Structure 1
């Protein structure tokens, strides 16, 4: 991961040398796209299990996000319902015959600008080189609202499925929508 020091603090950089977007920059983008959103703050969450125990009564679909890669450097961000059991071998075949593995935290920061536990479809806002392919579980589109971390795992942001698609298209990451049943 490329890092710079500013005022004694180490700041992460994306692969193109820019600084990852903040949650506030994401909210500005959503507002500019006329996408309604609602955000709640909570203690940092790193796993689906932690999310289940701390989210309270947030309505809608809750998700997990997998940052995957293959040996040739291809990368995918797979967003699915939180209770989905994902078979990486099967998913790799469905995505083109690839052998997939989880991307390393350094690569996650370089391309999507987030840490493990904060992975979200919103993070493609940081993928200025279109290096990461977005994959959505089709079942997500049956839940309204959908809940995601807004680049920060100490918050959860709710938006509609229609507006998730609008956001992804606006940032040039047209998702592949597949059934992960």
Structure 2
């Protein structure tokens, strides 16, 4: 079964309505934004970060137009130093590749050791967008359903001000 279909089936089981826009492969949020121009919804970026000791794992979800202030985030998370996780570690923890990181990778995190942080500003929007484990598609659903998804996956989340 194609990975995007697993996303669709899971959302259907959770009674989460969604819409899909299919487009050529997008390797960056800027490129994906071009294909979904004019559609309602905050364009998100999901970042996989780790601490210096590679013992704490973080999924940060924010508006793709916003630049991550990693020093500020380190302070919020009470970490001395954060960095982006390697593609190998991302594959191990979430079975995703760079450019496809999204909350849908959390169901592959069998150890449930990835901590989820959502930027408050992004949550003010009615609709959020993600790649459904496929960079030729963008999925749209209600921001309130993002909470529902995370709860169903068993992931507590923290809302932060980036």
For Structure 1 versus Structure 2, the TM-score category normalised by the shorter chain is over 0.9
Post-superposition Cα deviations, 1:25-53, rounded to whole Å, max 9, x if no partner, equal: 12111111111111121111121221232
Alpha-carbon distance in 2 for matches of 1:48, 1:40: 14
Q: Of the candidates 121, 129, 145, which is equivalent to residue 103 of structure 2?
A: 121
Which secondary structure does the structure 1 equivalent of 2:25 belong to? Answer: coil
Which secondary structure does the structure 2 equivalent of 1:163 belong to? Answer: helix
Q: CA deviation at 1:99?
A: 0.7
Worse-superposed segment, 53-62 or 140-149: 53-62
Corresponding residue number in structure 2 for 1:105: 87
Corresponding residue number in structure 2 for 1:50: 31
Alpha-carbon contact 1:135-1:175 (below 8 Å) kept? yes
Which secondary structure does the structure 2 equivalent of 1:36 belong to? Answer: coil
Give the aligned length. 160
Alpha-carbon contact 1:63-1:148 (below 8 Å) kept? yes
Worse-superposed segment, 127-136 or 53-62: 53-62
Corresponding residue number in structure 2 for 1:88: 70
Q: CA deviation at 1:95?
A: 0.6
Unaligned runs of 5+ in 1: 1-20
Alpha-carbon contact 2:123-2:143 (below 8 Å) kept? yes
Post-superposition Cα deviations, 1:77-101, rounded to whole Å, max 9, x if no partner, equal: 1010111111112201111233100
Corresponding residue number in structure 1 for 2:4: 23
Give the TM-score taking structure 1 as reference length: 0.83
Between 1 and 2, higher relative CO (CA 8 Å, sep ≥ 6) is seen in 2
Q: CA deviation at 1:54?
A: 2.6
Unaligned runs of 5+ in 2: none
Alpha-carbon distance in 1 for matches of 2:26, 2:50: 23
Give the TM-score taking structure 2 as reference length: 0.92
Q: CA deviation at 1:55?
A: 2.3
1:37 aligns with 2:26: no
Which secondary structure does the structure 2 equivalent of 1:35 belong to? Answer: coil
